[in-house]
Amino acid sequence: MRRRQLLRTSLLGAALTATGLVVRPARAHAMGGSLPALDAPAPDFNLPGVAPGPGSGQGAAQATQLALADFAGLWLVLYFYPRDFTGGCTLEARGFQKDLKAFQRAGAAVVGVSADDPDSHASFCSEEGLAFPLLSDPGGTVSQRYGSWIAPFSQRHTFLIDPKGVIRSRWVAVRPSGHSREVLEELRRLQA
C-alpha cells in the first residue's frame, strides 16, 4: 500500500512537472510578474482609462491618461482586479466607492486597474456610480510589474503607496468583501 502511494505521488509529480503545472519561482515571474518589495519604490505606470470629470457627480466619467507621478504628494490605493461587471469585482468597487470620502479625507486617491478597455470602464463607472479612476492595462504590462497578471486578467491585488511613491502595504489574492475597510484601517495606522 505504501509503495503504491509513493509510486502514485512520484508519477503525479513527474506529470505535473512535465506539463508545467508545478510553479517554480522563474515561472511565477513569467506568468504573473514579481511582487514589488515593501518599502521600495512603486513600479511606474502610465495608462489610459476613465476618471470623473471636473465638477461631475458619480459615474460621469471622461477619458484620461494617468501616471504614478500624477499622485505625488498623495497616498495612493492602487488595486488590480480581473473584470468589470463581475460579482467580486463589482463588490470590491462598491466598497471603495462607499469609503471614497474617507480615503479622500485621509489624503488618499483610489485607482482601479484591469485589462478591460476604457469604454468598458466608462460603462462600469456609470452603472455603479464610481467616482474614482479606472485604468486600462489590456496587455498586462503594468499588472506584471506589480506581480498581478495571469493572462488575460489582472489578479486581485492591492497596493498602498505613500506620498513619496513607496509601497507601504500590499494585499495579494484579495477577498472583495470588506477589503476597502481593511485598506482604510491600514492607511490610518500608517498615518498615525
Q: Catalytic residue at 125?
A: no
**Active-site residue identified among 42, 51, 66, 89:** 89
Q: What is the 3-state secondary structure (H, E, C) of the chain?
A: CHHHHHHHHHHHHHHHHHHCCCCCHHHHHHHHCCCCCCCCECCCCEEEEEEECCCCCCCCEEEEEEEHHHHCCCEEEEEECCCCCCHHHHHHHHHHHHCHHHHHHCCEEEEEEECCCHHHHHHHHHHHCCCCCEEECCCCHHHHHCCCEECCEECCEEEEECCCCEEEEEECCCCCCCHHHHHHHHHHHHHC
Would you name the residues annotated as active-site residues?
A: 89
